[in-house]
Amino acid sequence: MNEPSISHPNEPKGNAIRKRLDKAVGLGLRTYTPSQLVVAKAKGCHLWSVDGRKLVDFTSGVLVANLGHAHPLFERLYRQYADGMPRNAYNMIAPVEVEASERLIESMRNPKAQKILWAASGSEGIQKAMWAALHRYPGRPIMVATRGGFHGKKGLAGDVTGESSTNPNVRWISFPMYDANPPAFYQAELDALAKAHPGKIVLLITEPYLGAKGSFHPPKWYHKLLQAWCEKHDVALIFDEVQASHGRTGRMYAFQTYGIRPDLVVMGKGLGNGEPVAAVAGRADLIDALRYGEASDTYSGNPRACAAVCATLDVFEQERIVDNCRAMAKVMWRGLNDLMKRFPFIRDVRGEGLVYGVEMCDDATANRCVLEAYYGTGKLGVHFLGPLAGKVLRVSPPLVVTESELESAFAVLETAWQRVKA
């Protein structure tokens, strides 16, 4: 039996739709958010509820719409690329797939980004990257993952997510969180694994920063240390940029932010600015280890997904999206730290580019903050995801956000969070 539907005062339309949804759609499909905004319209960095309230979008629809909603140039180019293409192109070749693949490779400026494998979701991309490594190095079953990472819920991606696994071949290493240990600590963990499994380790998978665990952004030496160890032991380094690629960290790709060249980079969310598309870009010898059909499925590399990839790259080239992200990062950092000074229930602010975690004193306060931000000043609210790891608010507006949009969101939070008593 489901719990009663979420409802809010003065939201007759929203409340009715929430009730119908709960009747028709499985609860397991949604993640918990105390607001459960029912959205009628989205444009740029704003959302409008069916009951006519306006909200600043601090989520980009779970870090997907990096260019914002209904971006005019993106929408026009997307339609142009997709025009006349079949709905799907299984067992056919749509030229737009070739164009998207070549352009994605070119955009990465990583000599190891030689070929593409398309997927329809981030976790499928992760799984395909892992399959590529496992096929390339048969007889090497051990997979190393960073503890606390999130790579998806399905299959192998689920096996390397979290802190424990039912897959007997998964081994965990530490990721720097509140206080980074010195490099020697992480080196010793890796060396112990190499010693315990000589010639048996196939891959190491990690995220640029721990997202779902609560926004932990490692010191720059950390990924370099992992990369050096992978090179020494000929282990495939898989960098999960599903939520970090396409400008989010202040560079086009997070591997550039962290100064490494992974063997396989997995992208999703921002890759098609909201069109469901994911991709693995990496070494040809790894990707070519998968033969005809071994990584195929109905939707991977479909023309509309590839049209979205091309249109997204065009907008990044024609508008200074990454520069804006870097400029707005300063405004964001200042604004969030001012809020921390003002509200003692905020315990920490962490992040880079336009992806931040605001850690609250406890889970109940974090949920209350999401709800009060939603109610905002009445006229204007701020839309957040449900807290990460219990008590961390994710702040990830579209990368096209302006200073005045950020300032108006902070002003709303100033007012709204006065109603929160920790």
Ligand X SMILES: Cc1ncc(COP(=O)(O)O)c(C=O)c1O
CA angle 157, 159, 165 (to 5 degrees): 160
- 274 is a contact residue toward ligand X (CB under 6 A): no
Q: Which is nearer to ligand X, 61 or 381 (CB)?
A: 61
Rounded distance, CA 96 to CA 112, Å?
Answer: 23
DSSP letter, residue 347: E
Q: Which is nearer to ligand X, 65 or 331 (CB)?
A: 65
- 240 is a contact residue toward ligand X (CB under 6 A): yes
Stretch 280-299 residues interacting with ligand X (CB under 6 A):
none
Kindly state the number of chain residues that form the binding site for ligand X, as judged by CB under 6 A.
13
Stretch that binds ligand X, among 28-36, 68-76, 137-145, 148-156 (CB under 6 A): 148-156
- 255 is a contact residue toward ligand X (CB under 6 A): no
374 near 59, Cβ under 8 Å? no
Rounded distance, CA 10 to CA 368, Å?
Answer: 18
- 107 is a contact residue toward ligand X (CB under 6 A): no
**Interface pick for ligand X out of 148, 211, 247, 262 (rule CB under 6 A):** 211
- 151 is a contact residue toward ligand X (CB under 6 A): yes
395 near 215, Cβ under 8 Å? no
Binding mask 349-368 for ligand X (x = CB under 6 A): --------------------
Q: Which is nearer to ligand X, 242 or 306 (CB)?
A: 242
Stretch that binds ligand X, among 146-154, 213-221, 343-351, 359-367 (CB under 6 A): 146-154
- 272 is a contact residue toward ligand X (CB under 6 A): no
CB atoms within 10 A of CB 228: 15
Stretch 110-139 residues interacting with ligand X (CB under 6 A):
121-123, 126
Which of 322-357 are b and which e, b meaning 16 or more Cβ less than 10 Å from the residue's Cβ? bebbbebbebbeebbeebbeebebbeebbbbbbbbb
- 268 is a contact residue toward ligand X (CB under 6 A): yes
Query: Phi then psi for 275, rounded to 5 degrees?
Result: -70, 135
Residue type, 422: A
367 near 361, Cβ under 8 Å? no
**Residue ranges binding ligand X (CB under 6 A):** 121-123, 126, 150-152, 207, 211, 240, 242-243, 268
